Chain A
């Protein structure tokens, strides 16, 4: 087989990220303790630069380009996913800066691990063989395990890290096993070759491979029945880490799900459609119902994220039989991630003083203490509940439309009923913030928000409303890339 030089220029974002990560690592070793802020600034600058580098790729490569011996693909979905990943990671690090400063968490290593996670996610978004999917996934996961474990002083965090690591490795193992069976059946690991072979040779082994691969993916997403790690990890990890886990990796996981299910196994569509229907209905049900019983806000948001993953899967279910199912799912997960990041950011802001402020009781009377923060939280929560005119409603509308078009009207009705059950716990938080008065000690502690975090939270919150009023641009973006 002739060795052809791969096209390096298409992989510019990843190459740049990797080089900068190495560079920042060395810089960080050399500089003194008081200038740690330099690492943070360099990491953020890297992310911004990578974003700017990736932006032209949207127009430059109208046709998908496959390179690196079929391992790397640049198509519109990859580019859009990467843009979202860089954007959400940028926000996640902004929110982390102040929180980490007040605690004994090694700051510069945190950002570096985050950067490595971003590289992993980037590779996942552009992966076109199962091997590169797995590599990207592992890079992301290992970085995340370390980030969770970095909070050495908190026993909850160590426990969360252990759970995440053990269960995550198990899931990666299942994924790898499924991939190996798939290789055995099809003789290739490249996505399009696998699809071609499966078209002609459909057998039980392929379905078995599908089940293992799907198990691995569902774990990474955090959907029922592999959702057990989500509440514990979300609650135990430090809030910025939770923010990071809840945001960008979901977009990357969505990208690889689409690659594997839609592009690699379209012939097995009946099988994965039925499995996904069960998973998504159970996720929506358990996520919403179990969240009602929670008194800890982070845990509640964890269960709600399980429910929202259920909704996203609805788009993938409707995808094969509708025109815009996949893009509706992409739009849904992106807007959910935006809103969830904002919600965790507000928890991080409140927890600034060194004590974790994640109990629901801590938000009592927030409107009296800081009306703007309460209003932002209101917008974010109503967006998660799917109440117009926020963006959450438009996202749900897209999913429902795809479902009705695919003749799954009963699933649409069920999804909405579970959404109503879900609305209760969001309303409960709004109720605590607005309808109650704060306690005496709470009134004595003013909430101080550094300017950059205030700006970021404002952008996050008002985006929930703004995108709900003017969603066209992003919907069209998602349609072009995934549609």
Chain B
């Protein structure tokens, strides 16, 4: 019965309405009302994902739960939303993370609570909107619109250098996206419609495709972020409040890869195939070079930020290796594993990084001057053993320990890369060493050993509110790490359809389309 409701519309707009209600509670004297409303709304959103998942038919590759309504007739812009396999997982991830962030914010934010909760609710609604949008301008509105609450949250509740970090974040992302807007309008002029599905399978010539590819590349590369336009991320992550960092790492980075999957690959397959080598090299640079940079960081949040860039390198590698795999092996089968690995890596990274940012956030909250420097801590495991145990789990997921979520995605991408290109797989696999070194070294310096100073000695272990978040995340990490099959089931047919649309015609001619499960 619940599946007959316009679930996606509710998931987008209920947080917005919740935000208005939260703002109406007034100033900080009524902070508890604000917190209560925000948690309720986030919880309802999270629970609504269950009928969304149950009602989803994994054997179809077209968009489900669709709503199509002519929003601006003058420009032929539709309010068109729907989910397929990839977006469904992302929408569920968004609502899960949104709940975590709101719960974490209850404890750590004491000033202007209502505005904080409202900002994050609006942000959550908009991110769901990006993942669900089927109309290009609707996508763009949500894509740019979410910059406003993120900008405000970094700037109002952030660290000491927050003004610089927030403006850098806003301008970088804004600049990256403008050429995408021009590209979308150009496509509109070609096809007469803004619906993204109508842009697939246009037989555009190579030069046009290359221009479109670069326009999209700029927008998505800034969001992912890829080297060399990654410099906004360390600043934004370190200065953002804990909840902001979690949303940035867990959700906003995924938007970039989602953009590649939704726009670049199906609309400009020829250009992607020819320019895939650039993307693969940039992904490897992210994995190896950024991994090396991460080892030398002295600020915990900056370290995790750089590790985020490195992990997203896997996601983009997984996306663009498919062209290399198909060129060498002519089998669609191996390409499946690459793309599925990319999507699973996105989700696994969200869990791992999100948890680590939450952990570092609550550590910094307890310290007298909210320092995030590694040298100010030491031996935290002595005073906060339960927290240390949770953090160890998430650190291991970050490293990619088999049994945790982080392993599955990386393994799938490396395995499929290995089928076609040994050296790419080799360099990608060095992440196993690099991520272990920076994560475990940080963990050792912060948690193990004797108690570092009197402040650490005075730490209280985590409260039940904080434990709730970590338990939820730990459940996610274990579930994804030990039994990822349900996710792969949801993804399979969608990825198959995506592959068929993303492969240029000449490459598809001599490709065997024998797939697992057959079609």
Other-chain residue from B147, B185, B188 in contact with A387 (beta carbon distance below 8 A): B147
Q: Is the CB of A434 within 8 A of B75?
A: no
Q: Is the CB of A401 within 8 A of B182?
A: no
**B contact residues around A371 at 8 Å (CB):** 27, 115
**B145 contacts partner chain A, Cβ-Cβ < 8 Å:** yes
**A423 contacts partner chain B, Cβ-Cβ < 8 Å:** yes
**B74 contacts partner chain A, Cβ-Cβ < 8 Å:** yes
**B166 contacts partner chain A, Cβ-Cβ < 8 Å:** yes
Give A344 to B144 CA distance when docked, in angstroms: 26
A412-B72 contact in complex given A382-B148, A387-B148, A427-B170, C-beta closer than 8 Å: no
**B contact residues around A416 at 8 Å (CB):** 178-179, 181-182
Q: Is the CB of A412 within 8 A of B182?
A: yes
Among A382, A412, A431, the one with the most B-chain Cβ atoms within 10 Å of its Cβ is A431
Q: Is the CB of A420 within 8 A of B178?
A: yes
Give A147 to B485 CA distance when docked, in angstroms: 74
- The dominant DSSP class at the A interface is helix
**B21 contacts partner chain A, Cβ-Cβ < 8 Å:** no
A387-B179 contact in complex given A401-B75, A434-B152, A435-B155, C-beta closer than 8 Å: no
**B contact residues around A401 at 8 Å (CB):** 75, 185, 188-189
**B162 contacts partner chain A, Cβ-Cβ < 8 Å:** yes
Q: Is the CB of B75 within 8 A of A413?
A: no
**B380 contacts partner chain A, Cβ-Cβ < 8 Å:** no
**A394 contacts partner chain B, Cβ-Cβ < 8 Å:** yes
**B contact residues around A389 at 8 Å (CB):** 141, 145
Q: Is the CB of B151 within 8 A of A404?
A: no
Give A124 to B179 CA distance when docked, in angstroms: 39
Q: Is the CB of A472 within 8 A of B141?
A: no
A388-B141 contact in complex given A412-B182, A420-B178, A476-B74, C-beta closer than 8 Å: yes
Q: Is the CB of A472 within 8 A of B174?
A: no
Q: How far is the CB of A383 from chain B (nearest CB, A)?
A: 11
Give A121 to B385 CA distance when docked, in angstroms: 75
Q: Is the CB of A387 within 8 A of B144?
A: yes
**A417 contacts partner chain B, Cβ-Cβ < 8 Å:** yes
Q: Is the CB of A431 within 8 A of B137?
A: no
**A475 contacts partner chain B, Cβ-Cβ < 8 Å:** yes
**A16 contacts partner chain B, Cβ-Cβ < 8 Å:** no
**A contact residues around B155 at 8 Å (CB):** 431, 434-435
Q: Is the CB of B182 within 8 A of A404?
A: yes
**B contact residues around A419 at 8 Å (CB):** 178
Q: Is the CB of B162 within 8 A of A435?
A: yes
**B392 contacts partner chain A, Cβ-Cβ < 8 Å:** no
**B455 contacts partner chain A, Cβ-Cβ < 8 Å:** no
A427-B167 contact in complex given A387-B147, A397-B137, A405-B189, C-beta closer than 8 Å: yes
A interface residue numbers (CB < 8 A to B): 324, 367, 371, 382, 387-389, 393-394, 397-398, 400-401, 404-405, 409, 412-413, 416-417, 419-420, 423-424, 427-428, 430-431, 434-435, 471-472, 475-476, 479
Cβ-closest 6 pairs across A and B: A388-B141, A416-B178, A435-B155, A475-B74, A388-B145, A388-B144
B interface residue numbers (CB < 8 A to A): 27, 71-75, 112, 115, 137, 140-142, 144-145, 147-148, 151-152, 155-156, 162-163, 166-167, 170-171, 174-175, 178-179, 181-182, 185-186, 188-189
Extra contacts, 18 of them, besides A416-B181, A430-B151 (Cβ < 8 A), are A324-B74, A388-B140, A389-B141, A397-B185, A400-B181, A400-B182, A401-B75, A401-B189, A404-B182, A404-B185, A416-B182, A427-B151, A431-B163, A434-B152, A435-B156, A472-B71, A472-B74, A475-B75
A-B CB contact pairs (8 Å), 12 listed: A367-B156, A371-B115, A387-B145, A388-B142, A388-B144, A394-B72, A397-B185, A398-B74, A401-B75, A431-B167, A435-B156, A472-B73
